Structure 1
C-alpha cells in the first residue's frame, strides 16, 4: 500500500483517520480486482480461463456481492496495520539517523520493509480470513463474517493456521524493498531532474512505478502465501487450491512442477491494473480528508479551497496555532503556562 506524505499541520489522530479513510475507500472501490487476483493466486476454477473470464464466472456463480468478499477483513486490517507500521518505522529510522538527523534512502526503504513485516505480524490473522472468505463460494459458504471465520479457524485448525505462510511475508519483503530501492535510486535519471523538483503528478507516477516493480519481484512469495492461507483439509476441495502440498518449499515445487514457473505470477494482470486506481483514490481521498482537517485547524479558508488563511504561520503546529489564536483573542497568556508565551 502506498504511503501519504506527512503534513505537520495535522495532529497525529487526524493523519491516522485520514489515512484510514483513504485506505478504506480505495480498497473498497478496487475490491473486485483484489478478488480476481487472489482467486487467480489460489487457483480456484474461476481463474482458469483468463483475466476477463474470471469476472464473468464470479458474477455468474456468486453475483455482485462475490466481488466484495473479504473486503471488511481487508479494511479492518488498515487501522492496526497503519498504527504498528508508523510506530515501528519511526523507531527504526531513529536508530539509523546520523548526528544531523539524516538517513540514507536505502536505509529508509529497509526500515519501511521491516516496519511492514512487523505490521503484517500484528494483522496477519485478518489476512488469512480475507483469503478464506474470497476463496470460498459466498452462495455456499463455509465461513460467515470475520469474527466467525477467526473463531472457526482457531477452533478447527489451531493458532498456527492463522499464521500459515507468514514466513513468506518476511521473505517477500526483501525483493519488495529491493524493487522500491531500484526505482527510487533512478528517479532523477528517469525524469532528468533532481527529486526536490518533482511535481505531485511525478510523485504519484513514481509511487505507482515503485509499487509495480516491487510487487512484481515479490509476487511469487505472495502467490505461495495465498495458497498456504487457503488450503485446508477441512474445506471443500481443500479450499479450492489448484495444487496439494505440505509446507512452503513443497508448495513452490508443486506449483512449478504442475503449473509451470509463470503460474507463480497468476493474477499479476489484475494486480497491475489495480495499482493506478488504488493509488489515485488513496491520495485523492487523503487530500480531501486533509483539506477538511486543515480548515478545522484554521490553516485554509475553506475545505473546498487550497487558499491559505491570511496571516497564519503555516509552520506552526496545530496546538501552537491554537495558542497563538487564544493570545490574539485574549491579549495575554495565562500566567506563563503557554509554550508560546514562554517562548515570547
Structure 2
C-alpha cells in the first residue's frame, strides 16, 4: 500500500498534522467518486445505468451536496484510524525485529494488515455511519449527522449493528496484504533497479499499483460489507440494497445468483479512477505542508522550495537543531559581551 515516508526533520505533531491535512483534502476532493462507488456497491437505483449516468442521477435527485454526503465522518475517521494504526504497526514491527533491527518486507506488510484490522475495529462504527449517510437521500434524510446516525442505529438496532460486516474487514485484509506483497516483491523487476534507488515518481507509481492490485483482490469483501452496513429493516427499502439477505454467505450467494459474479466488483470503475487523484493529492498536499514545517524549523530557506539552509545539519532532529541554535546564540552573546567589557 502507498505510504508517506517519515521525515525525521519534522516533529511528531507536525508529521501527524501534515498527514491529517493531506488526507482530509484528498478525501474531500475525491468524495464524489467515493459516493458513486459506495452507492454502486450497495446497489441503489442511482447506479443501475453505469458509471457516468450515476453522477447525473445523483446530481438530479440530490444536487451537488449529494456528492459530499458522509465526507465529514470519513475525514473524522482519519485521525483515530491513523493514530491506532501507527501505534499498532510500531508495536508489531518491534516484535518481529531481529538483533540488527531488520524486518523483512513480508513481515512489514503483514504487520500493516494486522494494524489495519486493529484500527478498523476502533473506527468501524464511524464507517457504518458513513455508509448510512451516503446511501440515504440528503433531501429526505433519515439521519441528520454523525452523532445522530450513531445514536439512532444504536437505539433502534443495537450495538452489534454498528459492527455489522466487520468480519469481512478481517477476511479482506488477507487478499489485500497478498496484493501489496505481490507488487512490492516485483518492483525491482519492473524498474530494473533496487528499491532504495527509487525516486518520488517511482514510489508514487508503486503506491498506485499496490493499491490497485490489493483493492482488486479484496473488493468483493468490501462490497458485501457495504451491503451489510446499509441493510436495515428500520429504513425505507431496507436501506436500498439491491438484494435481501440474512448473513454474509447468503449475501454472496444472492449476489452471484441474481446479479452474477461480476456484481461483487460493483463500483470498481469509480474506485479505480479514484486511486491516482487520491494518492496524487495525498502526496502533493503532504509535501506542501512538509515544506512549510521544514521552513519553520529552519531546514530550508523558503516554504516554496527545497533549497537547504546553508550551514544547517540536515541529519539533526528539530529539537536537536533548536538546541544547537540556542547554544550558538548564547555563545555569540557571551563573546560579544566579553568584547564590550574589555573596552
Q: Same fold (TM over 0.5)?
A: yes
What per-residue deviation string (whole Å, max 9, x for no partner) do you get for residues 278-309 of structure 1?
Answer: 00000000000001111111111111110011
Unpaired runs of 5+ residues, structure 2, are 333-343
C-alpha separation in 2, matches of 1:329 and 1:122:
47
The equivalent residue for 2:158 is: 158
C-alpha separation in 1, matches of 2:2 and 2:23:
9
C-alpha separation in 2, matches of 1:324 and 1:171:
50
- Determine helix, strand or coil for the equivalent of 2:4: coil
Q: Is the 8 A contact 2:188 2:194 kept in 1?
A: yes
C-alpha separation in 1, matches of 2:195 and 2:22:
25
What per-residue deviation string (whole Å, max 9, x for no partner) do you get for residues 252-282 of structure 1?
Answer: 1111111111000000000000000000000
- Determine helix, strand or coil for the equivalent of 1:49: coil
The equivalent residue for 1:75 is: 75
1:225 aligned onto 2:225: yes
- Determine helix, strand or coil for the equivalent of 1:130: helix
C-alpha separation in 2, matches of 1:158 and 1:14:
39
The equivalent residue for 1:111 is: 111
C-alpha separation in 1, matches of 2:15 and 2:304:
18
Cα offset, 1:224, TM superposition? 0.2
C-alpha separation in 1, matches of 2:224 and 2:299:
48
Q: Is the 8 A contact 2:243 2:255 kept in 1?
A: yes
- Determine helix, strand or coil for the equivalent of 2:139: coil
The equivalent residue for 1:16 is: 16
C-alpha separation in 1, matches of 2:216 and 2:66:
26
1:320 aligned onto 2:302: no
Cα offset, 1:3, TM superposition? 2.4
Q: Give the alignment's Cα RMSD to 1 decimal.
A: 0.8
Q: Flag as ranges the 4+ runs of structure 1 deviating above 4 A.
A: none
The equivalent residue for 1:298 is: 298
Cα offset, 1:247, TM superposition? 1.2
Cα offset, 1:82, TM superposition? 0.5
The equivalent residue for 1:4 is: 4
- Determine helix, strand or coil for the equivalent of 2:48: helix
C-alpha separation in 2, matches of 1:36 and 1:313:
48
Unpaired runs of 5+ residues, structure 1, are 333-344
The equivalent residue for 1:48 is: 48
What per-residue deviation string (whole Å, max 9, x for no partner) do you get for residues 72-124 of structure 1?
Answer: 01000000000000000000000000000000000000000111111111110
- Determine helix, strand or coil for the equivalent of 1:331: helix
C-alpha separation in 2, matches of 1:224 and 1:253:
11
